[in-house]
Structure 1
């Protein structure tokens, strides 16, 4: 039953992420409520710890807030081991998809230059800095939820 809940959550998140370029908080709230009703305290603790750990990536602007909340809900529903496996699978797929996207839209060199600039700023500052400020219409934004859904489907088929 948990896999159906996670699958439906990732499907809804993927559709809204593609169409609206964000994951509405109402979706997060609905699935958080379902998780609390089905799995109670264990779910809550896993989500809370995951949100805390992944918030570092949000503060650096590597991921959006909705993506971080989806990461946390997935780990909350599936448990730490399976949730992290799915997250890694999804991020590998997202990396491959991003690379293909950047190659076909002629952004690869520009993105490598931005990454190099970021690394130089971090080294000169001596601390981690925000990667880049984005807005929802930015051409650099790549929705992560579809890759999470694809990773979930692959993970369920082969694991």
Structure 2
């Protein structure tokens, strides 16, 4: 949408087309990424949204979850895998990888949310595993742990 806005502003007479499917919707940027002092107390960190998505989705209710997300934030489940990875690798890997969806927010807010995730990520793991089992059965796709394969040598 930012691109469309930039084009319309730069070239007021230009026709701008947008290809949008049934799942297309736009987020309320101020609710997700507030500016100024509100960054310290307003908005919802991405990790919180993804955790809530994982909690709400059961493998069959994608329309309900999308409606909730659209209604709440105007936006669109890797929480289970993130939880498993977190328990399997050193914390330094997460700290050094540079991927931080919450980087928009000040460090103290990010630290609070990171601590919350670290303390609670195992609680919802069974629900997330059952959701993946439902998706596997419903769509006939492979969802499950990868086999530990020994490295192949040519």
Quick check: which has more Rg, 1 or 2?
2
Bigger relative contact order, structure 1 or 2, given CA contacts below 8 A and separation 6+?
1
Answer yes or no: same fold by TM over 0.5.
no
Select the structure that is richer in helix. Answer: 1
TM (norm. structure 1) is 0.27
TM (norm. structure 2) is 0.28
